[in-house]
Amino acid sequence: MSTEDKKVHDKVLLQKLRDITGVGMMDCKKALEEAGNDLEKAIEFLRKKGAAVASKRAEKETSEGIVHAYIHPGARLGVLIEINCETDFVARTDDFKQFAQDVCLHIAAMKPLCLYPEDVDPKFLEHEKSILRDQLAGSGKPEKIIAQILDGKVQKLYDEICLVRQPFVKNDQITVADKLNELIAKTGENIKIKRFVRYELGE
């Protein structure tokens, strides 16, 4: 590959990484350098960085933020969400507002029932578990294996109904939590999705 071709290739790769992750140009450039221009490794590098920053900022108070409303065309579906951050400065940024809008679009499309696994109604969870146990009862598998299968199915259920664990509607290669961590890494602030409500006419 000629020097000119390599420059073009690197530029395309950089733009692709930025499109996938939404992270700033300099951070993407550093990630590609760290990953030896391997796109998948660079994505993983940025996700780990986001998770690390999120972990460090987790105890910081989030007393600022916004309440964002989304009404789907046709006015038959709407979403209201509260997202908190540390400072009013970050709450006013385009990145923060865009994240709120994107999560509203996600909620409108994917219909999550709650934010986190710990928010799942215990009665609902026990009902789902009893159905799964009945399905596995006649399998002839040992109890230990059945317990492992049951746990796996419960985790899959969480992936389906908990907002932060759902594949992100604009990029199903990451979860909503991954997208949130990317924003935390970009802003350097603790950011939390506090609550949401999804309204649909007739429901």
Q: Give the Cα separation of 137 and 117 in Å (integer).
A: 25
pLDDT band for 110, please (50, 70, 90 cuts).
Answer: very high
Q: Give the Cα separation of 159 and 174 in Å (integer).
A: 12
Instruction: Look up residue 94 and give its two tokens.
Output: 């385009």
Chain centroid to CA 12: how far?
25
What pLDDT is attached to residue 70? 97
- Does position 63 have pLDDT exceeding 90, yes or no? no
- Does position 132 have pLDDT exceeding 80, yes or no? yes
Residue pair 106/170 in contact by the 8 Å Cβ criterion: yes
Domain 3-57 grouped into CATH 2.40.50.100: no
Using DSSP, state whether 25 is helix, strand or coil.
helix
pLDDT band for 84, please (50, 70, 90 cuts).
Answer: very high
pLDDT band for 187, please (50, 70, 90 cuts).
Answer: confident
pLDDT tens readout for residues 152-175: 888 999 999 999 999 999 998 889
Q: How far is CA 109 from CA 139, 169, 183, 199, in A?
A: 36, 8, 21, 12
Directed axis angle between helix 39-57 and helix 176-187, to 10°?
A: 70
When pLDDT is averaged across residues 149-154 and rounded to a whole number, the result is 87
Domain ranges of the chain: 3-57, 64-116+162-200, 121-160
Q: What are phi and psi of 136, to 5 degrees?
A: -90, -15
Q: pLDDT above 70 covers what percent of the chain?
A: 90
Of 28-32, 35-39, 87-91, 131-135, which one has max mean pLDDT? Answer: 87-91
Of 59 and 175, more confident? 175
Q: Which residues contact 3 (CB under 8 A, 6 or more apart)?
A: none
pTM, entire model? 0.70
Q: CATH topology for 64-116+162-200?
A: Tetrahydropterin Synthase; Chain A (3.30.479)
pLDDT tens readout for residues 44-53: 777 777 665 6
Which DSSP string do the residues of 110-170 spell out, in sequence order? Answer: H--SBSSGGGS-HHHHHHHHHHHHHHHHTT---HHHHHHHHHHHHHHHHHHHBGGGSEETT
